[in-house]
């Protein structure tokens, strides 16, 4: 299954993960948004302010046994920085994650780094063509 490049056109993928009996859920700031007075507002909100969260993450994909876990963690893992998110997600049991930064860097949790099936389509940044 392909993971959409959040910095490119639909159909451009940054990673492919062969899945069997697993679920993959992605959340990102690239598809659900609106612009008002030159300001872009995405759908991931900070509970304390009610405003879109400020983060360097463009998308977060969760691989888990249950889709509901993916739905929960793909939003809960959207923290203020890639580093903070990766540290948090690496501590969780029963999930793996792929995080794409706004700069196009692709990060994977430790379990996927060890998983031979996580195929790297690109060595370079997701921004490069």
89-121 tens-digit pLDDT = 999 999 999 999 999 999 999 888 766 555 554
50-73 tens-digit pLDDT = 777 788 999 999 999 999 999 999
- Provide the strand spans (E) within the chain: 2-4, 13-16, 23-28, 33-36, 39-42, 57-64, 95-101, 106-108, 119-120
Q: Please calculate the CA angle 122-74-67 and round it to the nearest 5 degrees.
A: 100
Q: Which two tokens stand for residue 93?
A: 């049991």
Domain boundaries of the chain, sorted by first residue: 2-27+56-120
Average pLDDT, the chain: 81
Other C-beta atoms lying within 10 Å of the C-beta of residue 23: 17
Burial class for 25, CB neighbours closer than 10 Å (0-12, 13-18, 19+): buried
């Amino acid at each position: 299954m392909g993971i959409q490049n959040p910095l490119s056109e639909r159909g451009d993928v940054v990673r492919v993960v062969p899945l069997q009996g697993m679920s993959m859920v992605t959340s990102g700031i690239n598809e659900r948004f609106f612009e008002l007075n030159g300001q872009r507002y995405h759908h991931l909100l900070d509970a304390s302010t009610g405003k879109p969260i400020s983060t360097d993450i463009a998308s977060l994909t969760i691989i888990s046994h249950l889709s509901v876990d993916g739905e929960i963690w793909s939003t809960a893992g959207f923290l203020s920085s890639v580093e903070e998110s990766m540290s948090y997600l690496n501590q969780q049991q029963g999930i793996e994650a792929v995080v794409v930064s706004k700069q196009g860097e692709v990060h994977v949790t430790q379990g996927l780094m060890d998983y031979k099936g996580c195929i790297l389509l690109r060595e370079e940044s997701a921004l490069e063509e």
